[in-house]
A and B are shown apart, each in its own frame.
Chain A
């Protein structure tokens, strides 16, 4: 009982610190639930960056010109780096990157659902930058204000780089929307396929997110799923309309009074189906990750052997 009272006192101090806008650092006292929520969120975020390389990576060799190829290569490299920033942030909480990677390969960990959809055309590369990275930036801008110092700093670094990702995609979409009729058709088809999965990226409605109030109280998140989703829709719809593109939502209306674009119902059955492994590319993505891990084994072994030999030489 004494221990519990002690923890109540620590919890009060902890919550006051967060209310004052202070950052919690790895050596500070924190509730176990705060630590666990952060490990879950940060590792999912890291895995998303790593798996997120796959849908785009396959298009590097098929980029239509050298400029687009250089840009896409740089973007995919950035995603690998973002994964590493985030694994580091998780490791400050006492987990090991190796455990996290093994959890991903063994399907015990999740990554963003969006990467379980296929990239069928070059226009998808533009739409991923414009939609998927655009949605990710909204989330990550919020997380850059997170109360946990290492996660906040990782997101600040990510946001600075992610703006380039969004803009290179948006530039492609603008170009294609103003191009030949085939290009317009290709980019419209891509909008049609990515619109709903992108909106699902923000997660379930606030009424179905039981963790949200605590995450907000502890400053891990500062905005709800629905708030972020609404900002995304309000930003994007006028731009798409200006470009002569439409979204596949017959119920979309503009609420004059509120100044918001109101979307139709999201198919949450699809969301949960894909999350639980039955999306178009779940098997392919994990298969590609496992293959990369196995194919890289000899490199890891060679480096380990080299390090061991150097250490032995030094000891002699």
Chain B
């Protein structure tokens, strides 16, 4: 009954070209390529998406305001690598992509992120830029096309509340055909 568990990938979804990528959850997959396909099936059954990023959970580091004090002091490392920074800035919000910083370790990246984006943030999340795999840009349209022609997936497709109102008001015969 036991299988080897697939690694977990964080998923970041961009709803429109103007909007930042937002953390929307995670999927399990055998590799990044499958993670992108799974992410599309799980998070993009409806059309609000222009780009997906996935990153192995093991490469994602995050810290809350609570945990910030517990971060070990980090020596400044000029070499380092690029990290993408995501912050949860509203109590009820999600983690949104805010920019990029260079750091020598995930811990240092978190500290730098908290110093660069200090205001009103609840959670900082950093991912090495090289760990992120994006949905193909040149196929952007085709990749998300399948979600666009299914209006019946939206509640506005159904006129049930109007029908019930009309039946209750006696404007529609409950016995009659539409």
A102 to B25, CA, bound (A): 21
A59 at the interface (CB under 8 A from B): no
Q: Which residues B144-178 have CB closer than 8 A to chain A?
A: 150, 152-155, 157-160, 163-164, 167-168, 173-178
Interchain CB contact under 8 A, A306 and B122:
no
A252 at the interface (CB under 8 A from B): no
Interchain CB contact under 8 A, A171 and B25:
no
- Chain B residue contacts of A28, Cβ below 8 A: 64, 66-67
A243 to B174, CA, bound (A): 6
**Which of these, B1, B41, B92, contacts A152 with CB under 8 Å?**
B92
- Chain B residue contacts of A97, Cβ below 8 A: 5, 8, 28
A291 at the interface (CB under 8 A from B): no
**Which of these, B5, B26, B158, contacts A98 with CB under 8 Å?**
B5
A288 at the interface (CB under 8 A from B): no
Interchain CB contact under 8 A, A238 and B168:
yes
A159 to B159, CA, bound (A): 18
Interchain CB contact under 8 A, A84 and B42:
yes
Interchain CB contact under 8 A, A179 and B92:
no
**Which of these, A102, A150, A164, A297, contacts B154 with CB under 8 Å?**
A164
A242 at the interface (CB under 8 A from B): yes
A242-B174 contact given A27-B66, A85-B42, A174-B160, CB 8 Å threshold: yes
Q: Which residues B6-27 have CB closer than 8 A to chain A?
A: 6, 8, 24-27
- Chain B residue contacts of A154, Cβ below 8 A: 25
**Segment of A69-77, A110-118, A215-223, A277-285 in the binding face:** A69-77
A69 to B168, CA, bound (A): 29
Interchain CB contact under 8 A, B94 and A98:
no
Q: Which residues A9-52 have CB closer than 8 A to chain B?
A: 21-23, 25-29
Interchain CB contact under 8 A, A178 and B178:
yes
B91 at the interface (CB under 8 A from A): yes
B46 at the interface (CB under 8 A from A): yes
A78 at the interface (CB under 8 A from B): yes
A109 at the interface (CB under 8 A from B): no
A94 to B74, CA, bound (A): 26
- Chain A residue contacts of B94, Cβ below 8 A: 153
Interchain CB contact under 8 A, A164 and B155:
yes
Interchain CB contact under 8 A, A77 and B160:
no
- Chain A residue contacts of B123, Cβ below 8 A: 25, 27
**Which of these, B25, B45, B158, B159, contacts A88 with CB under 8 Å?**
B25
A170 at the interface (CB under 8 A from B): yes
Interchain CB contact under 8 A, B91 and A74:
no
Interchain CB contact under 8 A, A77 and B27:
no
A152 to B41, CA, bound (A): 21
A292 at the interface (CB under 8 A from B): no
A78 to B4, CA, bound (A): 26
Q: A81-101, CB under 8 A of B: which get 1 and which 0? A: 100110011010000111000
Interchain CB contact under 8 A, A29 and B66:
yes
- Chain B residue contacts of A161, Cβ below 8 A: 45-46, 153
- Most A C-beta atoms less than 10 A away, residue of B2, B123, B158, B177: B158
A303 to B3, CA, bound (A): 12
Report B55 CB to chain A, min CB distance, Å.
14
Interchain CB contact under 8 A, A74 and B174:
no
A108 at the interface (CB under 8 A from B): no
A262 at the interface (CB under 8 A from B): no
A26 to B24, CA, bound (A): 14
- Chain A residue contacts of B126, Cβ below 8 A: none
Interchain CB contact under 8 A, A22 and B91:
yes
A23-B92 contact given A164-B154, A171-B158, CB 8 Å threshold: yes
- Chain B residue contacts of A303, Cβ below 8 A: 6, 29-31, 34
Interchain CB contact under 8 A, A21 and B64:
no
Known: A25-B88, A98-B2. 16 other contacts (CB 8 A): A21-B91, A23-B91, A81-B43, A88-B27, A91-B8, A102-B1, A150-B25, A154-B25, A157-B24, A161-B46, A163-B155, A167-B160, A168-B158, A174-B167, A242-B167, A303-B34
Q: Which residues of B contact A (CB under 8 A)?
A: 1-6, 8, 24-31, 34, 41-43, 45-46, 62-64, 66-67, 88, 91-92, 94, 122-123, 150, 152-155, 157-160, 163-164, 167-168, 173-178
Q: Would you list 9 pairs from A and B whose C-beta atoms are within 8 A, ordered by A residue?
A: A23-B91, A25-B88, A28-B64, A77-B41, A164-B154, A167-B155, A170-B158, A239-B164, A306-B30
- 6 shortest A-B CB distances, which residue pairs? A167-B158, A163-B155, A27-B64, A307-B30, A303-B30, A88-B25
